[in-house]
Amino acid sequence: MPDAQRVAILGSGNIGTDLMIKVIRTSKSLDMAVMAGIDPDSDGLARARRLGVATTAEGVEGLVRMPEFADVAVVLDATSAQAHRHNAKVLAPHGKRVVDLTPAAIGPYVVPPVNLDEHLDAPNVNMVTCGGQATVPIVAAVSRVTPVRYAEIVASIASKSAGPGTRANIDEFTETTSRALEEVGGAARGKAIIVLNPAEPPLIMRDTVYCVVGDCDHDQVRASVEKMVAEVAAYVPGYRLKQRVQIRPVADDDPLAGLAGGGGNLVSVFLEVEGAAHYLPAYAGNLDIMTSAALRVAERLALR
């Protein structure tokens, strides 16, 4: 692809490998240059070599020493929050654009249909979390119609789709997602909960979004949410509403009434996310929405 921008991926685990395959199979504006990991026996590095992608098992230090790195425009980091803090320091002097798929949140939060245009010049952008990518757009859709006093999300994912990186970052997941509900979604207060579901066979990702609002036009809220779902589904085809958006008054004795200052209406949105199964199983929608969103961001950065 002569006009494509070259990219490198840090992390040869499930997320990094799925992202590599998406770049190779689906992207017209990105060219897969390098995959860097720390496990020389990982399936991700083995697949990369079979696909003709340059590899290193020496992490970010090995990446910056590779001759292919000179032509890389964007680095996608699919490691962990702790590793990204180190990786960002190593990459900073090289002037590469960085898309961070970990909850490290060094750069601004980016959720493509909500605020990508605001951060196209940022050197490091953060993809929040899988729960954030699934639910922040919904809170933003409600808040563009009426102020959201309080937003609470529950992200339920198959235990089998939660790898060591996800499990090591549970605290960062809840903290980062909660902040993104406020800073990007527009909620006055936000709370995030993650559930690892051990059911067999594994269930696809399901997300529940609760927004406490004041008086509002119910039809406008529903239309805004449905429009946002369509925007996300444009790059995550398995993203969909499970049922019609529910809106009901908040009773005086409801715990949410106290959290939101009393009264109001409760907007309830039920979602599911099925993966595209490029590399990961279809039930791993939580990982697919992260790689799909990161790919969307990298493509926009490349076009810019």
List residues with catalytic annotation: 130
Is 163 part of any known ligand binding site? yes
Task: Supply angle C-alpha 184, 185, 186, rounded to 5.
Answer: 95
Decide if 65 contacts 89 (C-beta within 8 A).
no
Is 164 part of any known ligand binding site? yes
Is 268 part of any known ligand binding site? no
Is 167 part of any known ligand binding site? yes
Residue with tokens 């444009």: 234
Is 12 part of any known ligand binding site? yes
Write out the H or E segment, with its range, that includes residue 144.
Answer: none
Is 249 part of any known ligand binding site? no
Is 244 part of any known ligand binding site? no
Residue 190: both structure tokens together: 């936000």
Is 286 part of any known ligand binding site? yes
Is 9 part of any known ligand binding site? no
Q: How far apart are CA 62 and CA 75, in angstroms?
A: 14
Pairing of strands 265-273, 205-213: antiparallel
Residue 95: both structure tokens together: 């002037």
Q: What is the DSSP letter of 234?
A: T
Q: Write out the binding residues.
A: 12-15, 161-169, 286
Residue numbers in the known binding site for NAD(+) are 12-15, 161-169, 286
